[in-house]
Amino acid sequence: MDLPLIAGWRCAVCGAHVDIATPLAWRCPKAIGADRHHALELVQGISPLRSTGDDNPYLGFRRYLAWDAYAASLGFTDAAREAIVRDLDAQVAAVAGTGFRTTPFARADALSDALGFDADGGVWVKDETHNVAGSHKARHLFTILLHLVATELAGRAPWSSATDRPPLAIASCGNAALAASTLAASVSWPIRVFVPVSANPAVVARLHELHADVVTCPRLDTDPLGDPCVHRFREAIAGGAVPFSVQGPENAWCLDGGRTIGWEMARWMEEQLDGPPFDRLFVQVGGGAFAACVAAGFRMSGITPKLHAVQTQSCAPLERSWRKAAEVGGPAAAATHWEACMWPWEEVGTSAADGILDDETYDWLPVLRAMADGHGEPVVATEAQVLEANELLVRLTGIDASPTGTAGLAGLLAVKDQLDPSERVAVVASGIRR
């Protein structure tokens, strides 16, 4: 079988290219200073989506990962690249209690019945709550860590030794911070975590246990519109920290490993789902990388279900960008109209699904394109639907997910009356209750 050609990255906004062999290339080279209105996307050939059968998705799908192509460009043999993944996974497992493994995916019979689906249709749930650090976030970050470790092992890093490493940095209020700090602790890499004043005390306590440098970020009078945690994070990056982020415009490598969840779902659909493929995917959206990666994973299979990106009424910048994009020529034209389509939500409200209250959907461009390609659309859920979705999924599946982690199901509830009972839909329980 021909392997996919991974040439590198291309900016969807300005067209700049970055070769796959370029070390520590996190952003578009034209994203200078505070300008983050650039979005690198992989330039990758397509071949049939297959897995080696290894339960570790970074090994099962290794041939499709940009990280693997990068490590090969550094001179690492096939066996050496596999060894790097296995060794790093073992180090992660020593801290997290589990390494990276294919997560469960199955039809939720009781939930499907409760929502009125017939025997041919239903709701399939992907359970990420037992993944590393309790959510899908570590999937995005692991390929960044692999990139860093390979660069260091090859002697291509600008620091002289492990004791000289620049700090990692991330802006997050919950799951992403825990995932980042868990991975950092596994290799004893210093990390600064920028959190809001409203951060969950239990999460903050765990971050300290993982030896993260936690920085609380109140809004300053001098701050522009947008998340103050992101402002402080970007200041740290300007000072030399490494963006250990799940936001593609800050570190495009997070979009590489995040695709493993979509690949797992697509391969399961092809191998084990009898009858028609999925009709729809409902994916909760905060910063947008999760939905972008799930959609990208399915795209490799050649089957593109309707993607519904789900946000809450408290904060829905993506749905607004969808409407604004229609005014400038549609999703395909939106990249050159960033300021007209995407800007921070002016008054972020409150929600039980607080993990998706990002005031800006940073990876909005690939999500808009994915929705357009599959003839999907964004969905805005009410707070009542957020709470109902969590109660239903936890009670009827036994998956102890948070309201953030079940927000994709809230989107299904919002449009349930528009669906045929025979439709097949998929959601992801993406974060454990804390």
pLDDT tier, 241 (very low <50, low <70, confident <90, very high otherwise):
very high
How does residue 334 score in pLDDT terms, banded at 50, 70 and 90? very high
| Integer Cα distance of 126 and 419 in angstroms | 20
Is the pLDDT assigned to residue 3 strictly greater than 70? Answer: no
DSSP state, 9? E
Q: Between helices 201-209 and 175-186, what is the axis angle to 10°?
A: 10
Q: What is the mean pLDDT of residues 24-33?
A: 93
Measured distance CA(200)–CA(414) in Å, rounded:
28
Q: Judging by beta carbons within 10 Å of its beta carbon (0-12, 13-18, 19+), is residue 48 exposed, middle or buried? A: exposed
Say yes or no to pLDDT of 7 above 50. Answer: yes
Per DSSP, what are the bridge partners of residue 125?
A: 106, 427
Decide if pLDDT at 224 tops 80. yes
422 near 118, Cβ under 8 Å?
yes
Q: ∠ CA(335), CA(283), CA(293), 5° rounding?
A: 55
CA atoms within 13 A on the CB side of 138: 30
Residue bearing tokens 């490993």:
257
What Å distances lie between residue 24 and 20, 67, 144, 148, CA to CA? 10, 12, 9, 7
* For residues 359-377, average pLDDT: 96
Task: Summarize pLDDT for 164-177 with one digit per residue, the tens.
Answer: 999 999 999 889 99
331 φψ region: left (φ > 0), alpha (ψ -120 to 50), beta (else): alpha
Question: 1 pLDDT exceeds 60?
Answer: no
Per-residue model confidence as pLDDT tens digits over 249-260: 999 999 999 999
- Residue 304: per-residue pLDDT: 87
What are the residue ranges spanned by the domains of the chain? 6-96+137-255, 105-135+258-429
pLDDT at residue 227 tops 70: yes
Domains 6-96+137-255 and 105-135+258-429 share a fold: yes
pLDDT tens per residue across span 404-433: 999 999 999 999 999 999 999 999 999 998
What is the pLDDT averaged over residues 12-41? 94
For residues 52 and 60, give the distance between their C-alpha atoms in angstroms, rounded to a whole number.
Answer: 5
Q: Quick one: pLDDT band at residue 226, thresholds 50, 70, 90? A: confident
Quote the pLDDT of residue 145: 98
Task: Give, in words, the CATH class of 105-135+258-429.
Answer: alpha beta
The residue written with tokens 């017939």 in the block is 118
Q: DSSP string covering 369-414, please?
A: HHHHHTT---EEE-HHHHHHHHHHHHHHH---B-TTTTHHHHHHHH
Band of residue 242 on the pLDDT scale cut at 50, 70, 90 = very high
- The encoded tokens of residue 262 equal 């979509």
Farthest CA pair distance, the chain = 61
Cα separation, 212 vs 387, in Å, equals 32
Specify the pLDDT at position 34. 77
Residues 6+ apart with CB under 8 A from 210: 95, 178, 181, 182, 184, 185
Among 200, 218, 225, smallest CA distance to 317 is for 225
Distance from C-alpha of 356 to C-alpha of 290, rounded to nearest angstrom: 11
Q: Could you report the per-residue pLDDT of 294-329, keeping only the tens digit for each? A: 999 999 888 889 999 999 999 999 999 999 999 999
The pLDDT of residue 2 is: 46
Q: How confident is the model at residue 4 (pLDDT cuts 50, 70, 90)?
A: low
Instruction: Name the architecture of domain 6-96+137-255.
Output: 3-Layer(aba) Sandwich (3.40)
At residue 283, the pLDDT reads: 98
Average pLDDT of every residue of the chain: 95
Q: Please tell me the distance from the alpha carbon of residue 178 to that of residue 232, in angstroms, as a whole number.
A: 18
Sign of CA dihedral 198, 137, 306, 13: positive
Digit-coded pLDDT (tens) for 62-90? 999 999 999 999 999 999 999 999 999 99
